[in-house]
Each structure stands twice: as structure tokens, then as C-alpha cells.
Structure 1
Amino acid sequence: MADPSLDIPSEMLAVQVVKYNEPLAIHKIPTPTVSKLGPHDLLLRTAVASLCHTDLMVHAGIFPTPLPLTMSHEGTGVVSARGDAVKDFQIGDRVLSGLPFHQCGKCEQCNPTDGQDWNQYCQAAEGATGIKSDGAFAEYHVVDARASCKIPDNVSFVTAAPLACAGVTVYRAILVSGVKEGGWLALVGAGGGLGHFGIQFAKAKGINVIAIEAREEGLEVAKKAGAEHLLDAREGKDKIVEKVQALTNGKGVEATVNVSDHSSTAALSAAITRMHGTVVQAAQPQEVSVPFVDIVLRDITIKGTMLGGRDVTQEMLDVVSKHGVTAETQVFYGLEEVPKMIELSESGRLKGKAVCVVDKKVAGMA
């Protein structure tokens, strides 16, 4: 159903991958048809969408992505239409787009035991917003209401958009780490799009954070995010291990969250973690390499993590709202600017997240 007062155009502007590793197409395509929405679907008029490292992987053909595909899995918007089975969203609601799309509802991931946060791991889902199904770099986009959340009134669309993937990924990583209030957690890649959220989330939970970065831009962002213990990875692994142990009575941190895909960071993460501790790997390099000494002789557990289910996402949004968590962004206006966002991200000069305001009016910035 749609609000008859809303004039939904038949065509919309979108940014699409049409060939892997080739220039993006910024062109008009048909707007998703309201009559063809699934029972649990939401049609969102896009407000803000941001760029994630995974978008670069989609563009490079690393995922089995059907083409053409509209990019961006970090979207926000307001509800323009909804499927007949949607009960908890109304026309005009402010929404953080869910990434999982049409999960099967039958597998162990969709029906986990003991309250596990596994819904996002469904292998039989029909799509994944901006990865296997069309995403948010468009004037309108379709999401699954069962994976999406309402944005708190005091959280802007610009802050919310990067939370759809970067934010919830690092939030879940902190939960998976098992570090409690008063404990010690390290963040490797702390000045990036995920890391600067991680600093703020960990501090909101009363966790002592050691932030580790190797880029000048990243060190600046991490400091701005509130890192009290900030280390420059360019000093080398041995020096970083020494400094981390000095801060933690010679033990090392209880857990490390690695959000950097540099080839050296998994080994660094293990080295600074105390015996029997945990490395939570959220970054996505082609291979993760760690010396056997850390895994076998020091009993370091390496635990993967991906996204977070709807309940964890809503919990994260509540933390953002309560603690004033903010996104470090470089803002671009209009879908035509997306190639510049990608260029900046690939250059290594990006500070925080590259965010596209798709519609100033919808985003409340007109």
C-alpha cells in the first residue's frame, strides 16, 4: 500500500555497477513498482546513503553479484509504500535500511537457539541490499521490513546511514568480544569507518579502549572519537605489543577487534591479546594470517563476525541515541558525486565515512 498523496515517479536516478571494474553508470532506471512489493517490503524514498568498503568489493566482482546492480548497502529513507504484511512501519517513518533481504525463515540461522544473533547468516536469502539486490544509491530503494529499524528522532540521517553496516558490524564485534565494563579491548584500524564507531560504543559500555591506527587521517579521526590510548601502528608490532602490555599490567588486552584489512593486522591483533583471549575479525581481506605460536601456544581464539540482526541493530541505535554517538563523515550532495566518493576511499585519504545526501528535502537539509 502507498500513500496516494505521494507522487512516486516512474523513473529514478541510480548509480549502478554494469561491468566489474568499469566506470559506474549514473542513469535513469524504472522506480520499483508499488504493486510488486513483497508482503514484507518497504519502498523507501532515499534520504542518505553511504559508501562501505564492501561496495568496492562488489565493484571489483569479488561477490557473485548479478549485474546491473544499484550500489550501497548503507541506506536510510522514509517509507513511501509498504507490503500488506508490514505492521510496525507507517508511511513517513524514518528507516535504517536492513541489509538482509527475504531470508528463508526456515534454516538454523533464521531460527537460532539460545538467543543467538544469527539471522544475518541465512544462506538461502533471496538477496542482500546493495550486494546481491539493488541498494540505496538511488532515489528510491526497497528493503525488507523484518531486517530494518526505525531511526530515533534525535539521530540524523547522515549519522544513521553508516550504521547500517559499519556501525552494527563493529557494535556486534564488541558484543562478540565478551569484554565487560572495566575490561580492556583493542581496536585495530580504530580511525576508519568502523573503528571510530567502535571507540564510541566501547566507551559507552565502560570498556577501556586501546586504539591502534597507521594513517595520519585515521589517527586524527580516532582521537576525535575519544580515544584515550592511541597507538601508531607504524612503530612496528614489537613496539605496539610493548605499549599495550604496559597499559594492561603486562597481560595484553582481553580481546582485540580487527577492522583493518591490511595483511599485517590479524597478526598484530593476536600479538597484543593476552593468553586465552579472543581476536574478533570483522575486516575482510582475502586471507587472514596469524602465527601458529599465538593460536597454538598462547590459545588465542579467532572469531569471525558479520553485521548484526535486527534486535542488535535496534540496541545499537538506542546506544547511539542515548550516548550521542556521531559519525565522522565527508558529505557529498547528489548521486552524481558517488564516483568522487569511491576515488577518495581508494586514495586512503578518507576521514571516517563518505556519505551521499541523495535527497536534501527528505534528509531535512533543504
Structure 2
Amino acid sequence: MAHEDLPRTMKAHILEEFNKPYNFRDVPLPVLEDPIDMLIRVDAASYCHTDAVLASGTMHPPALPHIGCHEFAGTVVDLPSGDKSNQSFKLEDRVAVPGRGYHVCGHCLECQNPSGPDPDEQGYSVYCPHAGGGLGVSSQGGFREYAVVDSRQVALIPSTMTAVEVAPLMCAGLTVFAALRKCELQAGQRVGISGCGGGLGHLGLQFATKMGLKTTGIDVAPKALDLARSLKTGATIVDASKEKAQDVRQQMGKEDGRGHLNEMGLDAVLILPESQKSFDYGINLVRNGGLVVVVSFPPEGFQVSAADLVFRRIRVVGSLIGSNRSMRDMFDFCVKHDVKAKVKTYPFSKLNQLVDDYRAGAVGKLVLDGSLED
């Protein structure tokens, strides 16, 4: 699409009041003002739990009016005028867009000293404190027909993947993929995923088992458990409302030929739900010296037992989202191992219908598909 062929206005889903439906209306087409930016046509926009939290105004409320969605994918339709030598993309490229890392400074301590098990390249950090705000979180996101994105934060979509397949990977997939990497486990070790039937969890089951890890999925909601079991990953799926953590842990010990409870259990567990019960259940499945990776962030936080930290030597770390390197590696992994989210698609104008289904307990990932007719 040539620049002169672009419309002057576009449709967007506008959050104008918290706890109210989105208003689908015309707004001006975004303007490119920075040489690192590019304009994309949004081909698919995926709904995340964070979108629900932001729309309720209960945590990190954005300035209103607001356009949500921090996991989307699209096609490049415009680049900055003038010298484009700093652009690694061209018109019609299909790109995947995570919300984090928009307009990072490149010079701060975070950007210049990437560290940890999943670092970004030097000069770019998704944790940059000077960034202009995550797309769809504190700045405008993908629930619109066109969006301005930072060319440094996106990646080319593999030729074998569709925009609808890619969009859910831009938060849910990348977050759980990075969290698994931060466990630093070897094939044959044990990992647990608490909340295994949710958007992140059902992708985590696929990643973990195809990494060669002995995987235990934990959930309580019947629909979520059904989804987890339907994947047929080979993971052990536990209904935490019916099975005691100690019994599950002892079964692991029996399978591993270990004789003392302290030696039995998971090497690491990912905590995806926001409830204290889920946190406690997960930590009770971990062997002494094991790792707990906290991915959720309830407003009231989690209570951690000092006895678990001191006597059981449990380590607790947090994980937010993956680096650009992890994003590229995740795509390679998905293509090689056929990892896909379970999705339900909606025409682009039907965000409020999608939200209603989400609140009613729909499982998997719910995605606006720009190719669908109303």
C-alpha cells in the first residue's frame, strides 16, 4: 500500500470509561513522527487478562480514552520519510508486535547492561525505565485498524504462521516461554505449571513437554482442565480441588525412586493464577532447593512462608516477559514443534462480544481477526 493510498481515519475500539463497553468509532490515522517507528495494518489482535484488568481500572489504570491490546500482528504499510537506512523492515513485511519495549532509551543501566538468563541485546531492554510505555498498556495498542510500532520491538512472522496464530504468542506465549527458560532446567527434569488451562498455561504445557521436561499441569476450573487434557501433550494434569499436593509430590517421588519427601517433587513451578491457594499448592509441589517462578501479580501480592525459604531452601523469582532474542527463538521453536494456541476468532468490530465471552469463562485465546467479515 502506497502512502498516498492510506486512509485519513480508521476504526478503533476506545475505552472511554472503566467497566464500560468499548466504543468502536472513527479516529485519525496515526502519524509517523520518529525515524525508528513504522505504521502497520493490524491483521490480528489478541485479548489478554491484562486487558481485562486495565479496562476495570483496578490496577495501573491507563489514561482515558485508551486503546488496549499488547499482543497483535500486522503488515507494514508505511515507513518514515527520508533516509530509511536505520529500518530493517520494508513495506508489506508481516510483523509480530509485543507490547513491551516501546521507545526504550538505549543508554540507561538496563539497556547497557542486560543480564540474567534471558537478556536482551546491549542497547535495548524491555525493562528500560525511560520507555514510552508499553503499547496497549500505558500507550495506545492494537485494538485499531492501524498502529504505530517501534521497529526495534517487533519480529518478522515466520512464513508458515498466520497473524492469528502469532498474535497470542506476543504476550501469553512469550511470557510463558521466557519463564520456562528462566527455570534453566534440562530435559528429564520436572516442571509444574499452575494454571495450565489458561491462555499462558496451555501454551506452557506445549512448550515444556516439547522441551523434554516432565511436566505437571495444575488447575481447578473444569473447562480449563478439559482444555489442558485435550492437548494430549503427555503432561500429567492435576485437579488441585481433588488431589492433595503432598500426595501428588509423593507419586513423583515414587516414579523417580526417591525415598524422602524433601527429595520428591518438582524442580521448578510456574505460578500463573493470582490466588494465594494456587501459590501455596504450587510451592508445596516443589522439592527442597527447587524454584518458584511467579508470573502473576495480584494487587494484594503473595504471602511466602519463611520456613519454605529458610528450611526448604525454596527460591522465588519473578518473570514478566521475554526478550527479543527469546521472541525469535520462540518462533523457531513453534515452527519446529508445531506449538499453537487454541484460539476463537471474531470479526475485528466484535471486541465487546469477545469480552462477554471472556467473562463467561471461554478458554484458550480470543482473537480479533481482520480478515473476517462482520
Offset of 1:295 from its aligned partner?
A: 2.0
Separation (CA, whole Å) in 2 of partners of 1:243 and 1:123? 45
Separation (CA, whole Å) in 2 of partners of 1:296 and 1:101? 39
Please state whether the residue corresponding to 1:128 is helix, strand or coil: coil
1:176 to 175, 179, 182: 182
Aligned pairs, number? 356
- After TM superposition, the structure 1 = structure 2 runs for residues 1-366 of structure 1, keeping only pairs within 5 Å, are 3-4=1-2, 7-33=5-31, 36-61=32-57, 62-83=59-80, 84=84, 86-99=86-99, 100-113=101-114, 117=119, 119-225=125-231, 226-235=233-242, 236-250=244-258, 251-286=264-299, 287-335=301-349, 337-347=350-360, 349-360=361-372
Q: Check conservation: 2:2, 2:78, Cα contact below 8 A.
A: no
Q: Deviations over 1:71-92 (max 9, x none)?
A: 1111100000123354221111
Separation (CA, whole Å) in 1 of partners of 2:306 and 2:276? 16
Please state whether the residue corresponding to 2:334 is helix, strand or coil: helix
TM-score by length of 2: 0.90
Greater Cα offset, 82-91 or 205-214: 82-91
Moved over 6 A (4+): none
Q: Deviations over 1:264-300 (max 9, x none)?
A: 1111111111111111111122211233322222111
Structure 1 pair 6–276 and aligned structure 2 pair: CA distance change class (3 A)? farther
Q: State the one-letter code of the partner of 1:293.
A: A
Greater Cα offset, 46-55 or 198-207: 198-207
Q: Check conservation: 1:40, 1:85, Cα contact below 8 A.
A: no
Structure 1 pair 6–191 and aligned structure 2 pair: CA distance change class (3 A)? farther
TM-score by length of 1: 0.92
Structure 1 pair 290–85 and aligned structure 2 pair: CA distance change class (3 A)? farther
Q: Deviations over 1:224-269 (max 9, x none)?
A: 3314311111114444444444444451110001111223111111
Offset of 1:58 from its aligned partner?
A: 1.1
Separation (CA, whole Å) in 2 of partners of 1:315 and 1:180? 17
Q: Deviations over 1:191-215 (max 9, x none)?
A: 1100111111112211111111111
Separation (CA, whole Å) in 2 of partners of 1:86 and 1:214? 49
Q: Deviations over 1:174-204 (max 9, x none)?
A: 0001111111111111111001111111122
Offset of 1:344 from its aligned partner?
A: 2.0
Could you list the runs of 5+ residues in structure 2 that have no partner in the other structure? 259-263
Structure 1 pair 227–259 and aligned structure 2 pair: CA distance change class (3 A)? farther
Separation (CA, whole Å) in 2 of partners of 1:17 and 1:244? 47
Q: State the one-letter code of the partner of 1:44.
A: I
Q: Check conservation: 1:94, 1:151, Cα contact below 8 A.
A: yes
Offset of 1:159 from its aligned partner?
A: 1.2
Q: State the one-letter code of the partner of 1:309.
A: S
Offset of 1:110 from its aligned partner?
A: 1.3
Q: Check conservation: 1:98, 1:143, Cα contact below 8 A.
A: no
Q: Check conservation: 1:169, 1:308, Cα contact below 8 A.
A: yes
Q: Counterpart in 1 of 2:261?
A: none
Separation (CA, whole Å) in 1 of partners of 2:211 and 2:363? 24
Structure 1 pair 13–90 and aligned structure 2 pair: CA distance change class (3 A)? same
Please state whether the residue corresponding to 1:234 is helix, strand or coil: coil
Q: State the one-letter code of the partner of 1:110.
A: C
Separation (CA, whole Å) in 2 of partners of 1:170 and 1:277? 18
Please state whether the residue corresponding to 1:230 is helix, strand or coil: strand
Structure 1 pair 109–156 and aligned structure 2 pair: CA distance change class (3 A)? same
Q: Give the aligned CA root-mean-square deviation in angstroms.
A: 2.0
Separation (CA, whole Å) in 2 of partners of 1:246 and 1:180? 20
Please state whether the residue corresponding to 2:112 is helix, strand or coil: coil
Offset of 1:124 from its aligned partner?
A: 1.2
